[in-house]
Structure 1
């Protein structure tokens, strides 16, 4: 295969592999037959970038990524020859199979049938920050893994893909929660040392819980982020999520949705606003978004709720 010319951001790694940033379209098209069908924006989610690819038979030259790469295979079983570092395997990718390639690891591959997959590019600094928030380790080395059936990672990948396809209907807090769960799973199962999550008892101190709830109430109409709420509680997003659920029985995302529905009920009872106006006033993207969550929490649609008053 003829080696392509390199864009300014793409340089040979020490091993001779092309150092590639898979979050940049100019790098991707130098090593893959086409760009992604769907892709998140750089910095859109906390340390995670998603791309969805559909490729014909192809051979990837040896590359090394600036990010940790998690490949999630979709839809069509595919036979792949995969090189990673000095290791080689012939892999039969099934739907939900996952490949883990740590940052800076030389790798290449070829396949002889259509290949559909999600590529999750993880910021190594964000990954290290999460590891330190779990057990104060100064290092967290992600291990390469050729293939494994991973229903959790597969589900997170599909949920993030659906979030992009919906125009980010779930909001930042929902996506942040998915990314945090992904990082935690990788830390537990794919690092040099199992990241034993400490047992936390008692939930959030009352004054911190009250501060977070007051903040949510004041800014319910905003697209709240997990890091934003965690900062109010003066905790890492990982600890905050776990302690908040211990205190309330709900994840931060579930709590915010519940509060939006409760405020919508009050506004609908007052009868001064249209359903579309109520949806926007309580932080939902549009009326259909309100209808979806209102029925889940209340058991009836907003219109039926109004008629029953």
Structure 2
């Protein structure tokens, strides 16, 4: 992953006020990473805030011996290549665990703890507004709302893998990656409700796929080359469904999630342009909505095993 550091505010500015920048479209009056920036004494390497208010941030920080004050959002985190002992004191309660691949830590909103971490940590954090959690529970027909459980280095490979999948979409194609991050936040919220609350959520299965009309509208929106809104909210609204049930029904109809369908569509477009035109790779990347040639190349290689130039030479 490209280690370029985004232009982000200082820890003091993050803590005291919200700034809106091109890279960081903050949606709340207080930035979701503000308290973390103050405690960790650094800024996130990358951070993306979605229209729902959920944010994903990538941090690298050193040892920590400080109190994390109550945060507005729930924080769910997992670790990249890290092996560190964690201690968390809440009142008279001491919890300990290990920051390691496959483990997650959860800080419910409004809680405060003292943390002691003895060395460097490489971590991904999801800031999940409680309103998103409540909405997903309602859309999944989950009755009641159990408290979110505190977790400290808790082994949960499924949740960890879901959050780790955000690593490759903090940069790149704006529409494609934004759609994936929105779906990711929905999936993580459902997973959290299922295994990290006082009572597991029981979800009701979708009754079937999209109607032919709804499916046609969704595909037309996803295929659009204009500035059409590709958010889950817009796609679901066209189908008159909640986002939760739209994703389920779309996959039943196509065999793919909206993000996977759009990814394959973009790949097909790229393949046609690479094979049938002499357009430079950088021009194709721009035409398909990628922020840079390197981001397009990385996405293309993940799907085909070849760089765009290698694929073009072989296809011809």
TM bucket by the smaller chain? Answer: 0.7 to 0.9
Partner of 1:17: none
Contact 1:22–1:28 at 8 Å: present in 2 too? no
Q: How does 1:56-75 map to 2 (within 5 A)?
A: 56-61=62-67, 63-75=69-81
Structure with larger Rg: 1
Deviations 1:126-184 (A, max 9, x none): 12111111115463532222332122332233332332255869521122222222111
Partner of 1:34: 41
* Structure 1 gap ranges (5+): 10-20
Deviations 1:94-127 (A, max 9, x none): 3332111211122221123333333322111112
Q: 1:136 to 1:129 in 2, by over 3 A?
A: same
Aligned length: 290
Separation of aligned partners in 2, 1:301 and 1:74: 26
RMSD across aligned positions (CA): 3.4
Q: 1:145 to 1:209 in 2, by over 3 A?
A: same
Deviations 1:246-277 (A, max 9, x none): 10011111111222233445556664855444
Selected match of 1:224 from 230, 253, 257: 230
TM-score after normalising by structure 1: 0.77
Selected match of 1:110 from 100, 111, 116: 116
Separation of aligned partners in 2, 1:143 and 1:188: 11
Q: 1:266 to 1:211 in 2, by over 3 A?
A: same
Contact 2:67–2:112 at 8 Å: present in 1 too? no
Q: 1:47 to 1:207 in 2, by over 3 A?
A: same
SS at 2:209's partner residue?
coil
SS at 1:129's partner residue?
helix
Separation of aligned partners in 2, 1:273 and 1:56: 46
Separation of aligned partners in 2, 1:79 and 1:299: 37
TM-score after normalising by structure 2: 0.76
Q: How does 1:50-61 map to 2 (within 5 A)?
A: 50-61=56-67
Selected match of 1:23 from 28, 32, 37: 32
